[in-house]
Amino acid sequence: MIYKGKAWIFGDNIDTDVIIPARYLNTTDPAELASRCMEDVAPGFSKKINAGDIIIAGKNFGCGSSREHAPLAIKASGISCVIARSFARIFYRNSINIGLPILECEEAVDSIKAGDELEVDTDTGVIKNLTSGGIYTAMPFPDFIKGIIQAQGLLNYARKAENRNV
Amino acid sequence: MGMTITQKILARHCHKEFVEPGELIMADVDLALANDITGPVSIEEFKKAGGKKVFDREKIALIPDHFAPNKDIKSAGLCKTLRDFAKEQQIVHYYEVGRMGVEHALLPEQGIVLPGDLVVGADSHTCTYGALGAFSTGVGSTDLAFAMMTGKCWFKVPETIKFIYHGKLNPWVTGKDLILYTIGDIGVDGALYKAMEFTGDALKNLTMDERFTMTNMAIEAGGKNGIMEPDDITIEYAKARAKRDFEILRSDDDAKYCQIIDYDVSKIEPQIALPHLPENTVGISEVGNISIDQVVIGSCTNGRLEDMRIAAKVIKGHKVHPDVRLIVIPATQNVYRQMITEGIIEIFIEAGAVVSTPTCGPCLGGYMGILAKGERAVSTTNRNFVGRMGHPESEIYLASPAVAAASAVKGRIAHPEEVAKI
């Protein structure tokens, strides 16, 4: 899958309380969650981004609470994928399970600037910075993870009979 | 080659003699847990995936604790979704308001989680049960839905970091201080993807309640699970509550650790985690004069009976500072009742504190003590992230129940010895 969009930069240890504050967790509606995404650190974020845009972040992105509402809010906001130095483990699993592509790539995080136009190929792990011309490579997903993301999540994937024994 | 206790539990639950770090396994779960925030998302996923019956109605726990008793109409809807599903599926471990407690205090107290178990919960503090010598870890709602359907969850077997605590604890230094110190040392991603095994002479005399506090906060260092080998204190605790057999497992002498970290606890004083990360930990003598508006004593981290006893010991005979709201939240109904029996509630009310019914409430900025812009709280909870307890410009200082109680009296962050004698 190839994703194209503009880069939005965040720092280290962006926690799930910041991604979607608990005061908005009295709903499970992705669109409502998306409208509050990142609002404590980047007010108006959900209104400023365009569909396909990409989050670039530092280490330990998604630390804290296990709320799946966090990747759901990011995905429903229109963000197409997240590239970080590293991810907290529950967030990592949750993102894959709901079909939000996430990649770990130090050199991309070091080089990409806010507003750069990016093209990300999650099959090969190649990240192209169309603004600067830079090319970086993340570890691509193994096939079963690609399958989960293409099916838009783990349970959709599991429903397909041919995947039941994976 | 030997195995750590974490490897052993994972191996037993995927029916293998041996598993090694990095190996991917599909394991049987003894309990799958969700609450009123994460449960409804799981239930939606369960139904969307065509789920009809849960894999075992005795191995699922559904607990409305985060926004319960219902804080608003939407939360009431979430709790109702949980309740209706529990009825439809005849879930044995559903706890209604009046019987419920904060999930990670309630389940061990009721003997529902036992040594040797493998537990997944759609709540990051599920790692708490490691104090019993169980493997337990937080997952998201989709993983939990999968576990409710199949009784299984996939894992990558983690490497283990061993933390050895030796020496004599200083007065007023508790399990909370040890874990805050540890997180301050290794950082909020210091144990990312790894098991944290806590051991050493200094932990031998810690009560179960203090041990739960330590394993509870493993996630605050990025850990997959926190765990302790069971000893006599663990076995006594489990035996008094268990309604089924359980297995005591320990790490082999030749088990492999990716890192071993040694702490001399005699050098550790009561700890404070400054805003806005649990790793911003300093000794209380370095904090300086920080005035506060609110104190919260409670949560899955520090809402158990021993926490209430030590806070009451500090506050007895004193008044809460006029500029401070002290909010005390027993984590379970049993803790609440025992506080009545022991006269602890009387002490808090006499001091000018409010005592609430069990709820997660303010810990995650839900309700029962939200902070206004610019306000500061000392809290015995587990996270001091931006906006965690209210306004994005409020501040949370994490501390032990003893420090929290002393701070409530002084109106600033204070050492318990300023207020009470041990």
How does pLDDT run across B3-46, given as a tens digit for each residue? 999 999 999 999 999 999 999 899 999 999 999 999 999 999 99
Range in A150-164, B202-216, B270-284 with the lowest mean pLDDT: A150-164
The 8 Å CB, 24+ separation contacts for B200-207 are B200/B163, B200/B164, B200/B165, B200/B166, B200/B263, B201/B165, B201/B166, B201/B167, B202/B165, B202/B166, B202/B167, B202/B168, B202/B169, B202/B178, B202/B263, B202/B265, B203/B165, B203/B178, B203/B228, B204/B231, B206/B175, B206/B233, B207/B233, B207/B306
A126-129: strand order across its sheet: A102-104, A81-84, A54-57, A2-9, A117-121, A126-129, A135-137
| Mean pLDDT, all residues of chain A | 93
Looking at the structure, tell me whether residues B238 and B362 fall in a common domain: no
- At A125-150, the pLDDT tens digits run 999 999 999 999 998 887 878 888 88
Q: Do residues B41 and B28 touch, judged by C-beta distance below 8 A?
A: no
Q: What is the ipTM of this complex?
A: 0.94
Which residues from chain A sit within 8 angstroms of residue B43, using beta carbons? none
Same domain for B240 and B387? no
Pairing, β B24-28 against β B152-156: antiparallel
Among the partner residues A22, A65, A154, nearest to B142 by beta-carbon distance:
A154
Residue B104 in domain: yes
For chain B, what is the domain count? 2
3-state secondary structure of B9: helix
Phi and psi of A137, rounded to 5°? -125, 125
Residue numbers in A near B67 (CB within 8 A): 25-26
Whether B366 contacts chain A with CB within 8 A: yes
Cα–Cα distances (Å) from B51 to B85, B147, B226, in that order, read 12, 11, 32
Q: Nearest-CA neighbor of B79 among B366, B318, B289?
A: B366
What is the per-residue pLDDT for A159?
75
Task: Please give the Cα distance from A13 to A33 (Å, whole number).
Answer: 20
DSSP state letters, A12-49: S--BHHHHS-GGGTT---HHHHHTTTTTTTSTTHHHH-
Asked whether residue A158 carries a pLDDT value surpassing 80, the answer given is no
**pLDDT tens per residue across span A60-109:** 999 999 999 999 999 999 999 999 999 999 999 999 999 999 999 999 99
Q: Which amino acid is at B377?
A: A
Residue B300, in any domain of the structure: yes
Residue A68 near chain B (CB below 8 Å) = yes
B277 touches chain A (CB under 8 A): yes
Residue A162: count of CB within 10 angstroms of its CB? 7
Boundary of a domain, candidates B219, B239, B263: B263
Number of H helices and E strands in chain A, helices first, is 8, 7
Does B155 touch chain A if contact means CB atoms closer than 8 Å?
no
Contacts of A28 in chain B (CB under 8 A): 40-41, 44, 78
Total number of residues shown for chain A: 166
Q: Give yes or no: residues B257 and B281 share one domain.
A: no
Residue B366 pLDDT > 80: yes
| Smallest Cα distance from B233 to chain A, Å | 30
Q: Where are the alpha helices (DSSP H) in B352-419?
A: 401-410
Residue range B51-88, pLDDT digits in tens: 999 999 999 999 999 999 999 999 999 999 999 999 99
Cβ contacts from A onto B, under 8 A: 126
- Tell whether B169 is covered by a domain: yes
Both B241 and B280 in a single domain? no
User: Are A66 and B122 an interchain contact pair (Cβ–Cβ within 8 Å)?
Assistant: yes
CA distance B185 to chain A (A): 16
Across-strand partners of A121?
A2, A126
Same domain, B155 and B12: yes
pLDDT at A124 over 90: yes
In this prediction, residue A165 carries a pLDDT of: 46
Q: How many CB atoms lie within 10 A of CB A6?
A: 17
In chain B, residues with a C-beta closer than 8 Å to the C-beta of A97 are 140, 142-143
Check whether residue B199 and residue B322 sit in a common domain: no
pTM: 0.96
Q: Is residue B422 part of a domain?
A: no
Q: Which two tokens stand for residue B165?
A: 């605590």
d(CA B294, CA B354): 11
- A50 min Cα distance to partner chain B (Å): 25
Q: Are residues B75 and B105 in the same domain?
A: yes
B269 lies in some domain: no
Indicate the residue among B205, B231, B263 that finishes a domain.
Answer: B263
pLDDT tens profile B246-301: 999 999 999 999 999 999 999 999 999 999 999 999 999 999 999 999 999 999 99
Chain B from 178 to 237: CB within 8 A of any A CB? 188-189, 192-193, 219, 222, 224
Residue count (chain B)? 422
Shortest CA gap A69–chain B (Å): 8
Q: Does B72 touch chain A (CB under 8 A)?
A: yes
| Same domain as B206, residue B87 | yes
Does B268 map to a domain? Answer: no
Scanning B30-59 for CB atoms below 8 A from A yields 37-38, 40-41, 44-45, 48-50
B347 assigned to some structural domain: yes
- pLDDT higher than 80, residue A166: no
Which of A90, A156, A158 is closest, CB to CB, to B138? A90
Q: How confident is the model at residue A36 (pLDDT cuts 50, 70, 90)?
A: very high
* A135 has a chain B CB within 8 A of its CB: no
Binding-face residues of B in 291-350 toward A, CB within 8 A: none
**Interface check B80 vs A, CB under 8 A:** no
Q: What is the mean pLDDT of residues A29-56?
A: 96
Q: Which of B263, B295, B326 marks a domain boundary? A: B263
Q: What is the pLDDT of residues B139-194, one digit of tens each?
A: 999 999 999 999 999 999 999 999 999 999 999 999 999 999 999 999 999 999 99
Asked if the Cβ–Cβ distance from B49 to A156 is below 8 Å, we say: yes
Question: Could you tell me which residues are beta bridge partners of residue B183?
Answer: none
Q: Choose from B79, B120, B124, B144 for mutation: most chain A CBs within 10 A.
A: B124
Does the distance separating the beta carbons of B139 and A90 come in below 8 Å? yes
CATH number for the domain including B300? Answer: 3.30.499.10
Min Cα separation B75/chain A (Å)? 5
| B371 touching chain A per CB within 8 A | no
B159 and B247 assigned to the same domain? yes
From B329, B331, B320, B301, select the one nearest B414 (Cα to Cα).
B320
Question: DSSP character for B412?
Answer: B
Tell me if chain A has a CB within 8 Å of the CB of B78: yes
Shared domain check, B344 and B282: yes
Chain center to CA of B77: 26
Distance (Å) from the alpha carbon of A56 to chain B's nearest alpha carbon: 18
CB B42 within 8 A of CB B142: yes
Q: Is residue A151 predicted with pLDDT exceeding 90?
A: no
Give me the domain span that covers residue B10.
5-263
Q: Which secondary structure element, helix H or strand E, spans residue A55, and what is its range?
A: strand A54-57
What is the Cα–Cα distance from B415 to B290, expressed in whole angstroms? 12
Contacts of B75 in chain A (CB under 8 A): 26
Which chain A residues have a beta carbon less than 8 Å from that of B136? none
Residue B413 pLDDT greater than 60, yes or no: yes
User: pLDDT band at residue A163, thresholds of 50, 70 and 90?
Assistant: low
Distance from CA of A82 to the nearest CA of B (A): 18
The nearest CA of chain A is from the CA of B209 a distance in Å of 22
Do B103 and B215 fall within a single domain? yes
* Cα of A158 to nearest chain B Cα, Å: 8
Q: Considering the domain boundaries, does residue B139 fall inside one?
A: yes
Answer yes or no: do B247 and B385 share one domain. no
Query: Looking up tokens 């902070």, which residue turns up?
Result: B371
